[in-house]
Structure 1
């Protein structure tokens, strides 16, 4: 059984001690599979169903084609190890939009470079982000994109300039309500915000992930 946030702890190193005590305690807790529930004040893609046009390229469970407010969501996380022994974290995000439930999946893997993690998105893992982990002045975990690549037919294509995506995510702690907060925005230089979600969540008892 691995620590819930071992991939983040490995990336942050000694800087992890600057995290809010509640967040640090949760990241250090040993779990097998875990479920969290929350509500996004706003979530989705402003492009709506137009986003489906990219699905043949990036594959399933990487995009959402709705945009709404007050969206209930579920996180299923499974920490583990790669074949080379590096810490990993598999996540399923379930967005319960009005009239449709949609999913985004990813796998985070500890990098050999301190401060960085590798994030592979979607079931087919065609989009790869290299993200820098840091701690904000308020003790939140922050992740910001350093590089983006598309993997197709065994080749890796770096996405730069107008083809690039910058992701900025902040995972913090709400002292008043005693719960985690999440704020993520993915932007493209040409089209602006392509995906966003912000809200709160709480960890629940250990649970098995839903059947895909």
Structure 2
């Protein structure tokens, strides 16, 4: 991606059009809760990072180590193998170049399970479809979800997956429903506690919920 004058973007340059969320939402972004808007807007410059720290009331997957069976196909840092309550976590959201795919929002989530930390990483990229984002998950970026972006009646951001693909080199294979997942993430704000909130659930039609987490956090730009 280049700047207004066609020059390559550098660290510290403003992100054209704002964050990927603002690009996808367009005028709908004005309906967001003010604190949610601050979060989804990010720092607004290339290379900037928003650091998130908080605690999940519940987090992980009930399928445990069975999730490792999918690793040869989808790569590492996608599924977690624990399911616990009161799990501290840390997230780093960084605006960075994702190769030929362009400028995106890279996220690294670290779940601090009692048995040891586990990571879940992904990158959000703009989509040519209005109100949509491309979400490439895992360190190998072999799975891509198409996310629909909307604003709830409470002013929270809702991300819902609609279609999924397996990326194998130049091949882009649409996953059938039975082999795919449906994800929903809601980013909100607790006015009483004055903290951001998050709730996420990833479901497979046959297996049910394969990943979930919900909790509260605070944020800072570093």
Tell me the TM-score normalized by structure 2: 0.87
Cα pair distance change 1:201/1:111, threshold 3 Å: same
Match of 1:113, SS state, is coil
Q: Does 1:127 align with 2:143?
A: yes
Match of 2:30, SS state, is helix
Cα pair distance change 1:6/1:178, threshold 3 Å: same
Q: Deviations over 1:44-63 (max 9, x none)?
A: 11100111111111101111
User: Aligned equivalents of 1:127 and 1:79: distance in 2?
Assistant: 20
User: Aligned equivalents of 2:102 and 2:68: distance in 1?
Assistant: 33
> Partner of 1:9 in structure 2?
22
Q: Does 1:36 align with 2:52?
A: yes
* Structure 2: 5+ residue stretches without partners: 1-11
* Number of aligned positions between the proteins: 205
Q: Deviations over 1:173-208 (max 9, x none)?
A: 0101111110000001100001100111110351xx
**Which is richer in strand?**
1
Q: Does 1:89 align with 2:105?
A: yes
- State the shift of 1:99 in Å: 1.4
CA RMSD of aligned residues (A): 1.8
- State the shift of 1:79 in Å: 1.5
Q: Does 1:19 align with 2:32?
A: yes
Match of 2:148, SS state, is strand
Specify which of 74, 78, 81 is matched with residue 58 of structure 1: 74
Tell me the TM-score normalized by structure 1: 0.91
